[in-house]
């Protein structure tokens, strides 16, 4: 064994080594990642923010959006959505690749790096992508005059926290997927799309019939959006609800990481 191999060093930094290689892999897609990060805000801000925003404002003013323009109302939701989708991209696909498609996690696990370290490394790299996308989106929102530079920077952290919680959970879920035949289709069409539509993204959740509101209650997008509205433009959110939103995301983060650790360990150590 080479004298430079230090198990103690790997025990401390194993996850960082995995994150380093994940970021290197991501860099192969930097053009597409940047295009999505730039294109998404542009499309949404122009189409929904301005187009639908004018329609909403002309018909009901700001009464339905808590006293702010429609584009301001949806901005934190779009920021949260960017974070969640970015986190999903960087957890779902790498985990499918690692266990199933190219089985690279088994190669990593042949080294002293452990299953939980691989999970944490993938997670950390996903956060880097989320930070990049959210920050770019925020810059657009500030540049368009939707959010204030000084008063809304906390909304970046809130969106990242929501992305982290959702990413951790998705990683845990995907680590248990043995057959991927319909998984990605079902995930995209029956989970992500409803979350996007029923999480108080484009209108307050309370506008929905009560029997549809639970979709929002269990949606990380709603909790992240509500926190984002509070920290982004000072929307009125009761203190107790701020705690509920924060605790919900924290629980999702903790449970997601716990499940990921267990599943990564068991799947790699049969």
Q: Contact residues for another protein (CB under 8 A)? A: 1-2, 4-7, 9-11, 13-14, 17-18, 20-21, 24-25, 28, 102-104, 106-114, 268-270
In the complex, the smallest distance separating the C-beta of residue 3 from another protein, rounded to whole angstroms, is: 9
The nearest distance, CB 117 to another protein, in angstroms, is 9
**DSSP letter, residue 152:** S
Q: How far apart are CA 38 and CA 29, in angstroms?
A: 14
Query: DSSP letter at 202?
Result: S
CA 167 – CA 256 distance, rounded (Å): 8
- How far apart, in whole angstroms, are the C-alpha atoms of residue 263 and residue 13? 21
- Where helices occur in the chain by DSSP H, the ranges are 7-27, 30-44, 53-60, 70-96, 104-108, 115-143, 154-174, 183-186, 193-197, 213-217, 220-233, 239-268
Q: Residue 91 or 201: which CB sits closer to another protein?
A: 91
Count of residues for the chain? 270
- To another protein, the closest distance from the beta carbon of 268 in angstroms equals 6
Residue closer to another protein by CB (options 129, 245) is 129
Q: Which is nearer to another protein, 24 or 258 (CB)?
A: 24
208-218 burial: b if 16+ Cβ within 10 Å, else e: beeeeeebbee
Residue 31: CB minimum distance to another protein, A: 14
Measured from the CB atom, is 223 or 263 closer to another protein?
263
Q: Least separation, in Å, of the C-beta of 256 and another protein?
A: 24
Nearest approach, Cβ of residue 113 and another protein (Å): 5
Judged by beta carbon, residue 65 or residue 109, the one nearer another protein is 109
Decide whether 111 or 185 has the Cβ nearer to another protein: 111
Q: Least CB distance from residue 25 to another protein, whole Å?
A: 6
How far is Cα 68 from Cα 72, in angstroms, rounded to an integer?
6
Task: Output the six-digit token pair for 239.
Answer: 């203190």
Q: Rounded CA gap, 219 and 247, in Å?
A: 13
Cβ-based nearer residue to another protein, 240 or 269:
269
């Amino acid at each position: 064994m080479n004298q430079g191999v230090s198990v103690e060093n790997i025990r401390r930094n194993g996850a960082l080594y995995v994150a380093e290689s994940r970021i290197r892999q991501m860099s192969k897609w930097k053009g597409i990642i940047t295009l999505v990060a730039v294109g998404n805000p542009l499309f949404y801000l122009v189409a929904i923010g301005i187009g639908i925003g004018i329609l909403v404002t002309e018909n009901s003013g700001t009464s339905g959006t808590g006293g702010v323009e429609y584009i301001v109302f949806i901005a934190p939701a779009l920021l949260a959505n960017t974070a969640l989708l970015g986190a999903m991209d960087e957890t779902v696909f790498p985990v499918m690749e690692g266990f199933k498609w190219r089985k690279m996690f088994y190669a990593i696990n042949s080294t002293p790096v452990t299953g939980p370290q691989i999970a944490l490394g993938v997670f950390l790299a996903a956060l880097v992508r989320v930070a990049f996308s959210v920050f770019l989106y925020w810059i657009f929102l500030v540049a368009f005059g939707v959010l204030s530079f000084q008063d809304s920077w906390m909304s970046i952290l809130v969106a990242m926290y929501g992305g982290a919680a959702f990413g951790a959970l998705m990683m845990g879920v995907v680590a248990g997927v043995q057959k991927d035949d319909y998984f990605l289709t079902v995930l995209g069409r029956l989970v992500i799309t409803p979350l996007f539509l029923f999480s108080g993204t484009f209108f307050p959740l309370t506008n929905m019939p009560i029997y549809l509101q639970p979709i929002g209650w269990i949606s990380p997008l709603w909790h992240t959006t509500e926190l984002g509205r509070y920290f982004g433009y000072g929307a009125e959110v009761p203190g107790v609800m701020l705690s509920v939103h924060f605790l919900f995301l924290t629980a999702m983060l903790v449970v997601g990481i716990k499940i990921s650790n267990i599943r990564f360990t068991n799947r790699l150590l049969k």
